Each structure stands twice: as C-alpha cells, then as structure tokens.
Structure 1
Amino acid sequence: MPALHHVRRGSGEPLVLVHGIGSQWRIWEPVMDRLAQERDVIAIDLPGFGRSPHDGTGPSVPDQAERVRAFFGELGLERPHVAGNSMGGGIALELARMGAVASATAVSPVGFWTPRERTFAQTSLQVSRRLLPLLGPVLPSLLRSPVGRTALLGQLVARPWRMDGEAAIEHLELLVGAPAFDACCEAFDDYTFHDAHQLDDVPVTVAWGDRDLLLLYRQAARARHVMPRARHVTLPGCGHAPFSDDPALLAGVLLESSAPVADVTAL
C-alpha cells in the first residue's frame, strides 16, 4: 500500500493532524510552526487527497480511521495524539474509539448532524466543487483578492481576508481535483457519531467555531449532550476551518488538549 504523504516538524510528543474532506495537510500551516515548538507535528494527506494516491481505502470515516491507524504503524508511532477538522475530526474520534491515540481533538467534526444538516453540508460542498471549474482562469485572481476570498470561502472561513491567497488557490484546486472526494462525501450518508462511552478511556476535546456555516454551530450543543465526558471548547469568531481565523487560539487549544499527563497535572 502506498505511503501517505505527510509533513513533519518539531520535536516532543507526537501529534498527528488530519484534514477534512477535499483538503490537504497544508490547511494546518497557520498553526504548525507554533505547534512544532512543543510537539512532533505530523500533518498528513488522506488517501485520494492532496499528494496521497487513492490506495483503495474505503470512503467511510471508520475506513479512513483504520488507514490512519496503519500509518501510525508505518511511522513507528505508538498511540500518538491526534487532531482533526471536519471529516478529520470524525476520524480523530474513531481513532479514540479504537484506543489508537493518547488523546483526540475534533475541530467541527462530522457526525453530530441531523439528516437535513448533513444533506445541507454535502450539497454545499458538491455544488462548490462543480461550480469552481466554471470560473476557469479568473479563479486565481479572485482568490488573491480579500474580497474574492470572502465571496468564495465565506462558508468555510470566518475571516477569509486573513487567509494567504496562494494557499487559498491551492486549497480550491485540490478540492476540485481530489479523486476520493465524491465517494467520501456520499459515505457521510451512513455516518453519525455513536456510542460515546467507548471513548471514555481517551481524553477527548471537541472545539467548534461559533461562526461555522457548514457544520452549523448548533451541532456543538448536540456534541456536548452526546459526549458529556469530553472537554468542549468554543472558538469565538471562527468558522468551520478556523486555521487562519485565529491561529493562536487554535494552537493553544491543540497544545492543551495534547499535553502529556505530567504537564496537565502542573496546569
């Protein structure tokens, strides 16, 4: 099986970062250097996204989690910390269910939706993916403009003007070209988070931007109800993909949730 493309920085406790559907490792770039000051940070491209080839991994969230667990073994990682956004958040929670991680942080995770909310998210992503190619050669110039980024990325990012223009171009190009996108998006039909008690032995943090317009912020209350033993954090002023909205806030949440036991005791 081909290796997953990944980028590794820093030293310390290993922390694996998992992106959402249609994204890639670079979405974590605004927080990676801060994390790398205290963690051995490993940001991956899931199979069929970014630079990782489609390797036959199934499209469901549990299937993707199994592939990430196999990746841990390929790198010799024994129960690293993991953080994921959106689909990656669901993957992080499934890895916690497997007992494969020391802690799990899920940022706006899939799985806490109603059927109508799930269909809204799927349709929004699918329509965007189909319409973006119609913009053709004007897309890069639009994304280099704060106004253009706001128009095109406002559903995902609360403060699109803070996002790097070249990073935005790459993000949307990879969204359009990701070979695993359609199957993973359709597989959401069968995924709802369940059996929270199976995660009781793993420290879990759920963080949600209060300006999330894709997996609407009201789903955070549902997550609190379903996972009462988890730590729940609101990210004020942040959207669904909060990386450039408030990098310092997000990095702080990730560092606290992935702190070794001795560090937590000292807090």
Structure 2
Amino acid sequence: MTKMSGTTNSSARRAPIKALHVGSGDPVLLLHGFMLSPHCWEQVALRLSSHCEVFAPAFAGHWGGEPIDGWSIDFHFLADRIEDQLDELGWRTCHIAGNSLGGWVGFELARRGRARTLTAIAPAGGWQSPSLAQWRAGAKFLAMVPIVEIGKRLGGFAIDNPIAQRLALLALSKNVAAVSRRDVAAMITAALHCDAMLPMILGSTRGPALDDLSNLAIPVRLLMAEYDRIVPNRVYARRFLQELPDSADRILVNGVGHVPMLEAPDRIATLIAEHIYASRTHLRAV
C-alpha cells in the first residue's frame, strides 16, 4: 500500500498503486472508475486525511490491482474483492465514496451492509437489465478497445502526447486546464494497463442490474456531474433520481465532467466530508 505525503514530484512518471492508505479517524473507502486507478483520488484523499482514515484500493484487473481469471466479471465480483480487503483492515463498515464504476460497486457494498454512508459520484449501473441503456453503455466502451490497443503499441508516446492527453481529458473533464499533465498521464497509463476491460464490458452487458435502490437505509448522496459525457445524466441518472429514498441528497455539481476529482478536488472532498459529518449528528445537508 502507498502512504501519501503532502508533496509529489510533478516530473516523475507514476508507478502503479495497489492502494492509497492515509490519515486517521473515520474509515473512508474511495472507489475509482472503470479503467482508472487510485491515482485519481490522490488529491481528495489528501484533503480528507486530516480527519479520516482513507483507503483507496485498485479494483481487480485494473492498474495496480490483483490479477483476474476468466473472460467475464461484473460489479458483484469487484464488490467481493473489496469486501476481502475491508475484512483485512478490520473495517466491518465504513463511509464509501465511489465514482462511476466505483459508485456502482458502492451501491452493492451498501446493499451488503458495509456502508455507513454512500456518496455516489456520477455512478454507473443506472439501468435495468436487459435494457437499451445497458447495451449502449457496453457499446460505448467496446468502441474504445481498438484505441486502447493502438495506445499499448505506442507506449510512452501515447501516454505523454499532448493530443492524446487532451482527447482523454475532453471525455472525462470539463475544465481541462485544471488537470495536471501528470494526472492525465497516470489516467492514460491506467487505461492501457486495464486487463479487466473486455471481461468487465462483457460482464456488465450480460449481468444483472442493481437491486432496488428504494430500500437503502443509510444516508446516500448522489453527485451528478453537469458535463458528464460518459454516463450522461439525462439517460443514466434517471433510475437513481427516481428510486433513491426521499431522504437521499441529489446534487448537480456544476462545471465538471465525469471524473470531477481530477478538476475539482476541493469541492468533491468537501461534499464527501459534509455527508460524513452530517451522518454523525443526523443532520441533513441543505
């Protein structure tokens, strides 16, 4: 596991991270998105670590994560592996924040009774199964397979190329100038080292949907990214908006893309921390 410090060498190429583990206090689990890695949580984890013990692991089959076997996996499989890690830490329950695929897995962990609170940031999985929305999501990522294969062959040129970096940022961020080139390079590297790409695409287009969300008993905060180009709100947030309990917070985060931790770490850290602290005193955020 990687212990974080307050400073980083901006010129150094990132190494894979099995897990970030930093701080002390309330246990907080941070889950990254599909084809990404714990790197995308570094700035948020640093901000939360003053009052929380933060654990941000790499998903199985992702850059830094444990290897996978088989040709098809789904969010249940990833949740099983995360539960094993929580058991190793001695965390029966914890606060969970997940982005995209991480939000999808976060809902499953909440259903299993492992969450004290859940902050779902631009979560994936907001579809029924089978459904057109489910197949469209799978087709979108399947179309990326040739691009990733070309990037693997180009190696460092693809990772450090300004054009490739800008194209990646345009897909995941709104304010591209707010994201460092080092963070973009880590994001591209993670995508090129994601062995779970095809197995996850196959599993998610064939597998079951999330169970009914209306009976979640924990405090839930849904953060929708205004400029989400990966799982646009008008299609993929509809189920979350309709099914989550009335007590759940529903927040549109203005001016950010699908992975807002990269471009707005202060805002995202604050929104997660607010949700955690409100649960202590049973206050609702307004």
Name the TM-score, length of structure 2 as normaliser: 0.82
The alignment status of 1:138 with 2:160, answered yes or no, reads no
Contact 2:95 2:116 in 1 (8 A): yes
SS at match of 1:253: helix
Correspondent of 1:51 among 64, 68, 76: 64
The alignment status of 1:185 with 2:198, answered yes or no, reads no
Correspondent of 1:82 among 83, 96, 112: 96
Residue ranges of structure 2 left out of the alignment (5+ in a row): 1-16
In structure 2, the partner of 1:11 is: 24
In structure 2, the partner of 1:237 is: 255
> Deviation at 1:45?
0.4
Seen in structure 2, the aligned counterparts of structure 1 residues 110 and 44 have a Cα distance that, compared at 3 Å, is: same
The alignment status of 1:204 with 2:216, answered yes or no, reads no
Amino acid at match of 1:192: A
In structure 1, the partner of 2:276 is: 258
SS at match of 1:66: helix
> What is the number of residues matched between the two proteins?
260
Contact 1:20 1:88 in 2 (8 A): yes
Distance in 2 of aligned mates of 1:174 and 1:41? 21
In structure 2, the partner of 1:103 is: 117
> Deviation at 1:133?
4.4
In structure 2, the partner of 1:20 is: 33
Distance in 1 of aligned mates of 2:69 and 2:149? 26
The alignment status of 1:150 with 2:166, answered yes or no, reads yes
Contact 1:150 1:161 in 2 (8 A): no
Contact 1:13 1:260 in 2 (8 A): no
> Deviation at 1:59?
1.6
Answer with 151-160 or 240-249: which moved more.
Answer: 151-160
> Deviation at 1:220?
2.6
> Deviation at 1:55?
4.5
Name the TM-score, length of structure 1 as normaliser: 0.88
Q: Deviations over 1:181-204 (max 9, x none)?
A: 2111221112433312342x2111
> Deviation at 1:140?
3.4
> Deviation at 1:242?
0.8
Seen in structure 2, the aligned counterparts of structure 1 residues 191 and 84 have a Cα distance that, compared at 3 Å, is: farther
Distance in 2 of aligned mates of 1:129 and 1:249? 32
Distance in 2 of aligned mates of 1:222 and 1:206? 12
Contact 1:129 1:176 in 2 (8 A): no
Distance in 1 of aligned mates of 2:87 and 2:106? 16
In structure 1, the partner of 2:137 is: 121
In structure 2, the partner of 1:167 is: 183
> Deviation at 1:74?
0.7
Contact 1:106 1:206 in 2 (8 A): yes
Distance in 2 of aligned mates of 1:196 and 1:202? 11
Distance in 2 of aligned mates of 1:60 and 1:133? 22
Answer with 151-160 or 206-215: which moved more.
Answer: 151-160
SS at match of 1:67: helix
Amino acid at match of 1:249: R
Distance in 1 of aligned mates of 2:284 and 2:98? 26
> Deviation at 1:237?
0.8
Q: Deviations over 1:32-81 (max 9, x none)?
A: 21111221111100111121221459721122112211211111112011
Residue ranges of structure 1 left out of the alignment (5+ in a row): none
RMSD: 2.4
Answer with 210-219 or 120-129: which moved more.
Answer: 120-129
Q: Deviations over 1:108-166 (max 9, x none)?
A: 11121373433333333333342144352532342xx4x65332321222222221212
SS at match of 2:55: strand
Distance in 2 of aligned mates of 1:180 and 1:152? 19
Contact 1:117 1:215 in 2 (8 A): no
The alignment status of 1:225 with 2:242, answered yes or no, reads yes
